[in-house]
């Protein structure tokens, strides 16, 4: 992974949502899709192809790691074939940098909207 988290910015929407989903806990693929849907209040849906392509790339970049089992404990009816994914410190740094970047975009956008003069229409 590159030393500077900003080198990965801006993140694609899919990557941003995956990293956000993993920021709370280790999740398997379907769990990530469900968490993205929950966090976006149903506005963003990840398909399996997009999810696993991104997970493969994020794993190669060292931002996400595949783990054998969920660290937060055993869950009844948990399929042992499921692959769980964990956000690594480097992934957390990139996510933090992206959140800061987006906060700046939103702040600047609000300032522009407040200072914009309404245009007169004839």
CATH number for 54? 1.10.10.10
CB 84 within 8 A of CB 70: yes
Residue 59 counted as domain residue: yes
Q: How many domains does the chain have?
A: 1
Range of the domain at 21: 10-115
Sign of CA dihedral 32, 56, 4, 68: positive
Residue 120 counted as domain residue: no
- 37 Cβ partners below 8 Å, 6+ apart? 44, 45, 46
Q: Which residue has the higher pLDDT, 113 or 77?
A: 113
User: Of 13-17, 33-37, 118-122, where does mean pLDDT reach its minimum?
Assistant: 118-122
Residue 122 counted as domain residue: no
Helix, strand, coil shares of the chain as percentages rounded to 5? 55, 10, 40
Residue 85 counted as domain residue: yes
pTM: 0.85
Residue 121 counted as domain residue: no
Query: What 3-state class would DSSP assign to 28?
Result: strand
- pLDDT (0 to 100) of residue 92: 98
For 15, counting Cβ atoms within 10 Å of its Cβ (0-12 exposed, 13-18 middle, 19+ buried), the class is buried
Residue 2 counted as domain residue: no
């Amino acid at each position: 992974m590159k030393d500077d988290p900003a080198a990965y910015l801006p993140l694609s929407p899919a990557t941003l949502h995956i990293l956000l989903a993993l920021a709370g806990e280790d999740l398997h693929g379907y769990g990530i899709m469900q968490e993205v849907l929950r966090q976006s209040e149903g506005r963003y849906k990840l398909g399996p192809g997009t999810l696993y392509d991104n997970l493969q790339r994020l794993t190669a970049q060292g931002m996400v790691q595949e783990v054998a089992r969920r660290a937060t404990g055993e869950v009844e009816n948990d399929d042992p074939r499921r692959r769980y994914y964990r956000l690594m410190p480097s992934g957390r740094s990139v996510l933090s940098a992206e959140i800061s970047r987006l906060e700046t975009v939103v702040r600047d956008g609000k300032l522009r909207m407040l200072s914009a003069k309404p245009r007169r229409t004839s």
